[in-house]
Structure 1
């Protein structure tokens, strides 16, 4: 299934995309895409519905982040072999973990805000993992049982804030609009191998990143199991798994986002995003 949240910011409704690509309203069946809805039983209940019996949503409404009730956004750094090489870093022995504020969540086509004082706002297309059931001290063998599905994400990063403003990376990762998520939450049964997906990004129509999740240094099961050693993962939690080479910081000379720039990006099968950059008000 492809699950979506549509409508004005802060007032999104749940929906799904049917086999013909039409948006169907789920608000008569569930309150939102989150919580118990993401459990195996909750998803099975949605699968049992006849999409044609659901109201069709006319037009092209705004899409919000594809999951609600997110308690935390956890990100993995330097997790692509090609990206580590482009920034001159060694591959880590275990996942590098940092957090993004939940207020950074935005819809897949919402504008990206260039923060006040920013000089190095950068893009990072990533595979996002959406947790479906509580996970604490889970093994790699059972980790995938806790995954509801996947989405395209953009781990927008202000490199100057991230690397030279002291403290943890979170300063450069958490501005409003710095985590566009969606358009869809694609359930895990439709993504048999999350480590075999094409992943790319374009800036102003020019290809920047062009890789595959085959390049992931730590795979999804490893990441979920590892994180569950240090924190309890809850339904709706979002894990962004790292970005391939082609980010602005890794180019020569470096290239960063400016108001008016247009980003497009996609993870194979998970839908495309498009964001226009604008100065933060």
Structure 2
């Protein structure tokens, strides 16, 4: 089952995605007004039971960022060996993972355009798997880490490259432009380890493969990410961890291949789906 946040004529709903349309589940569960509240209640299984006997309610709709009210998004940077090598600084695998925050306002939904701002045109793509925490925990062991995942989704962690260089020690400025990235299309409930351990991530721009790798090659696997992050902060239901992107982002080509209006970016992971976005310039 797949669950999405979507809008119709300016009204926002959540529901189950089918091949013929959306099943509005928000109307059936008024005590949970958003998908975030469903996650926080640990109630994805109740959505599945309801959707199995319900009919499609909406055929025309727009996907929204799948958890637009998520309180916290943490991203893991430089998490594949070839990605680390791209920096050409001679460094081996670092002892600890790099982390930075992103905010929900920086993301849009599936089939919506990423926004290129007028201040800078170095908009780049980064295809990634994102996990949604479903069970609160602090100092979670790697052995128990997967027990704390509620669902999986995809992320195009769009970045304004020049703005990640504005300061010496952080990348926050380049990572949080409004609607510069996307998370979606939907949530896929997490059932077993093979959904992550065997996953292959592919990013295409205008049909051309730019990124292609398997999650098992991560320098910091997802179990370790959960354990490490939960050491210094309590992970709570609805938190999102964006787990790292393979080599092949546009900035690493010579010359760089930054995104321009009209481009189409697809992030695909078997068992989760395909997140697709166009690009447009910000309108005054």
With normalisation by structure 2, the TM-score equals: 0.90
**Residue matched to 2:184:** 182
Say which is worse superposed, 151-160 or 245-254, in terms of deviation. Answer: 245-254
When the two chains are superposed, the root-mean-square deviation of aligned CA atoms in Å is 2.1
What corresponds to 1:23 in structure 2? 22
Structure 1 residue 195, shift from structure 2 partner: 2.5
Q: Which residue of 1 aligns with 2:208?
A: 206
Using the alignment, how far apart are the partners of 2:229 and 2:100 within structure 1?
11
Asked if structure 2 preserves the Cα contact closer than 8 Å seen for 1:110 and 1:177, the reply is: no
> What is the match of residue 171 of structure 2?
169
User: Does structure 2 retain, via aligned residues, the 8 Å contact 1:131–1:236?
Assistant: yes
The answer to whether 1:133 aligns with 2:135 is yes
Distance in 2 separating the partners of 1:74 and 1:8: 30
User: Residue 244 of structure 1: CA displacement?
Assistant: 0.4
Structure 1 residue 67 displacement after superposition: 2.3
Q: How many residues align?
A: 278
**89-98 vs 75-84, greater mean Cα deviation:** 89-98
Q: 1:205 to 1:279 in 2, by over 3 A?
A: same
Change (3 A) 1:109 1:239: same
How many Å separate the matches in 2 of 1:3 and 1:199?
20
1:193 positional shift: 3.7
Matched, 1:49 2:50: yes
The 1-side partners of 2:40 and 2:103 are apart by 24
Q: Counterpart of 1:235 in 2: which secondary structure?
A: coil
CA deviation map 1:131-184 (0-9, x unaligned): 112222211122211110111111101111002455511100001113311111
**Measured at CA, do residues 21 and 235 of structure 1 come closer, stay the same or move farther in structure 2, by a change above 3 Å?**
farther
Structure 2 counterpart of 1:77: 77
**Would the aligned equivalents of 1:182 and 1:273 in 2 still touch at CA under 8 Å?**
yes
Q: How does 1:213-252 map to 2 (within 5 A)?
A: 213-252=215-254
Preserved CA contact (<8 Å) 1:71 1:234:
no
Q: Distance in 2 between matches of 1:271 and 1:182?
A: 9
Question: Residue 261 of structure 1 corresponds to which residue in structure 2?
Answer: 263
User: How far is 1:41 from its partner?
Assistant: 4.4
1:117 aligns with 2:119: yes
Moved more, 150-159 or 256-265: 256-265
So what's the TM-score if we normalise by structure 1?
0.91
